[in-house]
Structure 1
Amino acid sequence: MSTTVVEVLREVAPSVLGVLVRRHRDFDACEDALQEALLAASTSWPVEGVPANPTGWLVTAASRRLVEAWRRDSARRRREEDDARRELPTVAGAEPTPEADDTLALLLLCCHPALRPPSQVALTLRAVGGLTTAEIAHGLLLPEPTVAQRISRAKARLADGLARPQEVFAAPSAAQRRERVPAVLAVLSLVFTEGHTASTGEQLHRPDLTAEAIRLTRALLAALPAGAGEAGEVAGLLALMLLTDARRPARLSGDGALVPLAEQDRTRWDAARIAEGTALVTAVLSDGVPGPYAVQAAIAALHDEAGDAADTDWAQILALYDTLVGFWPDAMARLGRLVALGEVRGPEAALAELAALAGDPGLRGHHRVAAVRAHLEQAAGRRAAAVDAYREAARLTRSAPERAYLLDRASRLG
């Protein structure tokens, strides 16, 4: 299948699912029908070409599959079958076209207040982000069966609400929007993170996911009314994504090996994205007290503004991390802070705090703990301990590029 077809399918699939759920109201059945339509498209489009209206093509194909499935369900499904038939186009050329961005509607649906935040995140990663259950579990630091249960229960919980689509898909009030946006931002952040450094597989990047996360975050920011209090954190997350993704062209060497930040060719960084991200975070910081995404964006901006690794303002980065973990004690943020602490106060100080942090339930068994320990042990001059930690990190990661990089570091020291 050509790259173009794959990209189109990835781009339009969430919007198609949004249309189907809004029309037919059965999340599970719509998701199954979409998968069949995507399979049909992956077979026919490389031969016949991508249709002028790929979203309409997929909606029509999936809707027909829904009708076929309902037919097989006999009398219990007769009413749904008749309703679905009336909604289908009568001629092949009359493919439905969404009037609005149904991807964004689906995003808000998955973060409906009827669902608990953990279920909102898991369902949106599955339905909008297109991640597998295994990828979601790794991103959330949870067992795979737990994530599968959350997705299943979220769909079941939405079933009653989907019987009243005019309510579920209505534009949320200001209070409802404030309630849903934090979960939406958590989802978009995780989708971007999975695209920036894939948790499993042979590829380091999944640019389709980072692009979709950036697109949806832009759409969310544009959809917010002027003066909305939550706009600052949405802009902060968008800035963080842009400033991080700007470094992607330099993260791999010519032979596909991972290149750490300190060794990257900074002339290859995307200057336009850095400029846009810096402008966004500067505006957010000037408007008042920033939230966690804006602070992380400010940290990313300091890295991007340094002409080379030696010019990095680690003291300011550490101060920002101290601010961040002061009101948002996220395990990964605290781990990132230790890298800055090691640069400012020395590796021994960071290692002392790492020993306590390693027991955090959210970090147990995560390869980044061992990777940070390896970095600090190497900086402290303890080569053997660093080698052991690099090898432990390589054993724990499920990313082939990261594993190769970590084993290479161990080999150079050993």
Structure 2
Amino acid sequence: MLNNTTPFSNKVQKKINLFAFFIAFPFLSILGNSVTFYIFLSIVISIGPFWNKYFNGKYLFFGFLLLGILSTLFSPVIGEQQDLGFILILIQYVYWIVMASFFIIFRRKIDFIQMSKWIFIGTMAFILFYFLFPLKINNPVISIIFRPGRNTFVFNLLCCIPLSFVYIAQRWKNWKQYFFLFFFVLAMLLTNGRSGAIIILIQVVLILSVLKPTFRRVGKVLAILFFMLFSVLQNTNSQIYLDTLATELEPVNPRVAALLRSEGDGDLEQDKSWLIRKLMIDKGFEIIEKYPFIGIGPNNFTNYRAELSSFSSYSRLKGSSYQRFSLSTSAHNSYLQVAVEFGIIGFVIFLCIYLPPLFLFFKLFIKEQLSLYHLALVSLIGMAIHFYAISAFIGALPWFVLGICWSYLQKEKK
């Protein structure tokens, strides 16, 4: 039970704004850590220790952290490593959990519109630099990367676009809001990614439901239509309609067009990216069978040498090295990675962290009560869907979004 209503000082709020900018535009790392780590450390120094304060969900967040420490101590991978990289990983987890706690505890002290403004500025900068200035400087001291991998870019947009609209809706009206929606959708389509292109359309429907109350019932209908579209994708009798849609979409996003036609990269049984995901699922279940309870430790999926007994059945991958898939490929699925690295116990805690705000979203959406205040839940929906396609729960951004979402679940002290 908390009653933190006095706003932060301008000095602290400026640091929060700077943190928001760099979490939306994550191009700078120093000594292996994102610059957001050092900014947050500066915020903690300014306000003093706060993690002893109680909040709803505290035992889940810190229980997940404790399990990560235990799984690291008993990890079968640590003994094979020649460096102390696992210590850096644990420090980062401490940072992410404490940072999420900060945004839960002090939600009423933060000027959220100001923070949203800097998320918007960072998102716009990320898009422009990603496409126009692909600079890359990488050394042990400082790393500057304006064009990271496509999955990183797409994930950042899915998390930050809804949060940006808290500011956009306050700053501009009518056609300017539609302009930014169009701009963000176009940026996503130009990545030539498949999952991101579909998820952003779902988020656009949800954002419009918030911006335009008269659109809420239409939004529900569109959500049903999206479900029907996925069903249509499985129906070969509808291929003529999918071919027509693919023809219109191909100039902007050839990979989604191929997916609709089920040819080339769209034929999943021939798509190496899809097959690698399936192979990593096999690897994941192989590890879970050996270490079911507390897993193999954070960030160790890639480092674990699996047998990959099913590798020979993937004929499309036989030209690639077994070593590549055994020791250098990510899980390509955040849920699988959590289950492997934190075990069944950690996976259950992970679900207990994610499900309450997701239930809140569905409750508000069904009752047509979503507001600007709740747009972080739209970010969370995008995350939850995209987690199926990539390993992205490692990083400050998902925990930042989770912290904001859990702040909606707190009860005020009267």
> Structure 2 length normalisation: TM-score?
0.33
Q: Which has the higher contact order (CA 8 A, sep 6+)?
A: 2
Structure with larger Rg: 1
